[in-house]
Structure 1
């Protein structure tokens, strides 16, 4: 199993500045990378029955260096349902197909 990372940005109403910081860091790290197909950030709003939802950002295995810099925690691959591609190439969606075939 490949290692993903997750970072909880907290309350969705307050997460925008931190999300923008992550997006800028991604662009600085991988913006000119022509082989960035597996480098991506995905986002999901999760509420788990609470009144307010939290924003979770998932870093693909190819972005582990950035994930560590941002203090993201290792996690299992997220389920693709409800995810939104925030940064990276749409080819990164293929990672979920590979995970499902394992």
Structure 2
């Protein structure tokens, strides 16, 4: 099983600055393949507002560590989108299910 990482950015309405920081760090990554992407999902943990959670694939472990992401399992596809990178990453995930 490949090790994924998740970063909880908090209230989705207030996560813009942190998301922008992650995007900037992603753009600085030199060793990534054509389908690498940081994925995202708005998740509700029983609170009033949903939380923005970013998912980093194994090849972005260094970036995940830089933003304080924690190890997690591979995310499910439901509600998953691309925060930055290649949209083909979602198709790869779907094909491997």
TM (normalized to structure 2)?
Answer: 0.89
Task: Report whether the alignment pairs 1:67 with 2:64.
Answer: yes
Aligned-residue CA RMSD (Å): 1.5
Deviations 1:12-67 (A, max 9, x none): 1110000000011101114xx57332x21011111133211111000011111111
Instruction: Give 3-state SS (helix, strand or coil) of 2:93's partner.
Output: helix
| TM-superposed deviation, 1:69 | 1.3
Q: How many residues are aligned here?
A: 96
| 2:81 maps to 1:97 | no
Unaligned stretches of 5+ residues in structure 1? none
Gaps of 5+ in 2: none
Would you say the 8 A contact 2:32–2:59 is kept in 1? no
Q: Distance in 1 between matches of 2:2 and 2:94?
A: 11
Q: Does 1:40 align with 2:37?
A: yes
- Structure 1 pair 90–75 and aligned structure 2 pair: CA distance change class (3 A): same
Q: Provide the residue aligned with 1:20 in structure 2.
A: 20
